[in-house]
Structure 1
């Protein structure tokens, strides 16, 4: 009979090489991938442009969208020229990252 030690050693080495295997986690979903890409776009855009002209409501609603894993309903309504510019930049960045132009959370209520 063979000893189980070599098999256990192989499992331990694989788990050490890839912590995701050790935790039994699966690949991220497409929504998670898109959210990670979009979050990076948001972070990059803020780093380059800053928050000047962005209202607290715009920032708070956007942060809530990100905190939801990008699954909250779209309710970030750009109102100032700077908010419209940010929304346009993020929409293009999201599309460049492989998400649809409908992924970003920008939507204003009907009057």
Structure 2
């Protein structure tokens, strides 16, 4: 029970400054990447799930799966952009179950 209580408290704890900064950088990178690539060919679901991740403060569990060539292009660009800002490649919310 003690472990469950600690987990619940951790989930309710406010995000630290680096987490907030990473999310702000990710949101800006998303805007910049979409401006560069455009939205043509990017699936609406991919865009919406990415926005949902951002609205969560970039802490919601995510497994946003690219389906189209443009989805992959956006995911690749965002991964490179976030790594250039000092984030680990594991920060981005992309991944597929299969």
TM-score normalized with structure 1 length: 0.71
**Structure 1 stretches of 4+ moved >2 Å:** none
Partner of 1:37: 25
Aligned with 1:81 (options 44, 69, 77): 69
Cα distance in 2 for partners of 1:40, 1:97 equals 11
Which structure is higher in RCO with an 8 Å CA cutoff and minimum separation 6? 2
Cα distance in 1 for partners of 2:41, 2:63 equals 18
Structure 1 counterpart SS, 2:34? helix
Please show how residues 24-103 of structure 1 align to structure 2 within 5 Å: 29-103=17-91
Paired residues, number: 83
Cα distance in 2 for partners of 1:35, 1:83 equals 20
| Structure 2 unmatched runs, 5+ | 1-15
Shift of 1:74: 1.8
Cα distance in 2 for partners of 1:68, 1:104 equals 13
> Root-mean-square deviation (CA), in Å?
1.0
Shift of 1:96: 0.3
| Structure 1 unmatched runs, 5+ | 1-27
Q: Which has the larger radius of gyration?
A: 1
TM-score normalized with structure 2 length: 0.80
